[in-house]
Amino acid sequence: MICNNITKDSRGKLYFAGMDVSDLAKSFGTPLYLFDEERIRSNCRVYTEAMKKYFPQGSSVCYASKAASFAEIYRIAMQEGMCVDVVSRGEIYTALKAGFPLKRAFFHSNNKTDEDIAFAIERGIGYFVCDCEEELLFISSVAKERNITQKVILRLTPGIDPHTYEAVATGKVDSKFGSAIETGQAFDITRTALSLEGVELCGFHCHVGSQVFDSTVFFDAAKIMLEYVARVKAELGYEAEILDLGGGYGVRYVEDDPFIDIGDNLRLVSEFVADLCKKLSLKLPKIHMEPGRSIVADAGMTLYTVGSVKRIPGYKNYVSIDGGMTDNPRFALYGSKYTVLCPDKMNEENTFSCDLVGRCCESGDVIQESIKLPATVKRGDLIAVCTTGAYNYSMASNYNRLPRPAIVMIRDKSARVVVERESLEDIVRLDK
Ligand code: LLP
């Protein structure tokens, strides 16, 4: 199986996090997002334990909550001793509602509005990850008005191609995110940050991309960033306390995807950072990482019910399900791969070639193309799409006025609803 929290019994029934998924579908209905709490926690611990071990000078792991943002996730992150990366007032508000201490939150986004900045400062956000000079100036003015000193980290673009798909490559010089080192804009904003009242510069940040399998990308990023830290120390007399290397480690969606040993990667990054700091005569900065996908992706699964099975002789076959791009837009957006299973037919051979499509009124509403399912697949059967914990619920929409599915969290073989299924009343709630 693609992940070891997915198993089957001798009758050919699919289990997720130790629970029979057909029972879950019966109890909670479909479409349904499932989350495996133990897996989320163990993924958090892979990071927190490795970071503690390999970065004794101090480190933090910030869960990038854009991957899956709902109150229970912030509670779990808090209990696991994580910080969080938030990108909007919505994420901040959700974290607050969950009781997450905002001192441990890092506010990202390439375009924080005046209202966002005031909102975050008022509620005591720990750090701004500042994208550009205009934002920095505004933060400084709000902080001064309130007589506080706001901690900031500067997001820089190191000019690295992470070899992933274009929509999630963010570290290149022409990226919409951050201030580029190559163009001199990083240096300008650093000088400004050091001269401004109301802000305290705490270090630098970069995030080169997402679903990255090439580990050298993180070494390249660390090298460029540390050389920059050394230049700033030499020319401006400021030595960064924090170096945030962002998120991005890739996860396995299909059997062909490689497996990344994150603990081992972090050990190698730590050795690389320590060596380079010695060469550059820098003190070891506190290293921060911001994983999103690798915390929640394999802790998720989506269940659907088959509606129609359409055979177009001489052309192709479609299996339509009761969800679609509204609960998982990732194939439509990026052509993302997924492993698709038939939970009640795990002992049957997969011989029926088809596209798995949603119920939205457009042809691009595809969950996965050219897959194989059992030839007996028919209306009423269950379908499971694996590894949907990251960027599925968080990117869901109400296109065609489809209500969003519920989220069920599984722990110790017991399931509880952590986000209710939207009702038709929810759909019209804001209409006048
Ligand atoms: N830090 C920053 C500043 C980021 O922009 C991101 C992701 C992360 C951390 C977390 O990266 P991760 O560990 O999850 O790869 N919607 C796309 C992914 C967009 C990623 C955006 N930024 C998808 O579904 O693949």
Give me ligand 1 centre to Cα 209, in Å: 7
Q: How far is CA 262 from CA 23, 49, 206, 249, in A?
A: 34, 11, 18, 8
pTM over 0.85: yes
* Ligand 1 atom at minimal distance to the Cα of residue 392: 24
Mutate to test the pocket of ligand 1, among 165, 290, 298 (most ligand atoms within 8 A of CB): 290
DSSP assignment of 81-112, as one string? T-EEEE-SHHHHHHHHHTT--GGGEEE--S--
Q: pLDDT tens for residues 81-116?
A: 999 999 999 999 999 999 999 999 999 999 999 999
pLDDT number for residue 172: 73
Which portions of the chain are predicted below pLDDT 50? none
Kindly list the protein residues whose Cβ atom lies closer than 6 A to any atom of ligand 1: 64, 66-67, 85, 108, 168, 170, 207, 210-211, 246-248, 290-294, 330, 334, 391, 395
pLDDT number for residue 175: 83
- Has 361 been annotated as catalytic? yes
Assigned token pair, 263: 């603990």
Residues in the chain: 432
pLDDT number for residue 413: 97
Q: pLDDT tens for residues 183-242?
A: 999 999 999 999 999 999 999 999 989 999 988 899 999 999 999 999 999 999 999 999
Q: Return the DSSP state at 269.
A: H
pLDDT number for residue 215: 84
How do beta strands 150-157 and 179-180 pair? parallel
> Which is it for the CA torsion 161, 247, 266, 254, positive or negative?
negative
pLDDT number for residue 171: 66
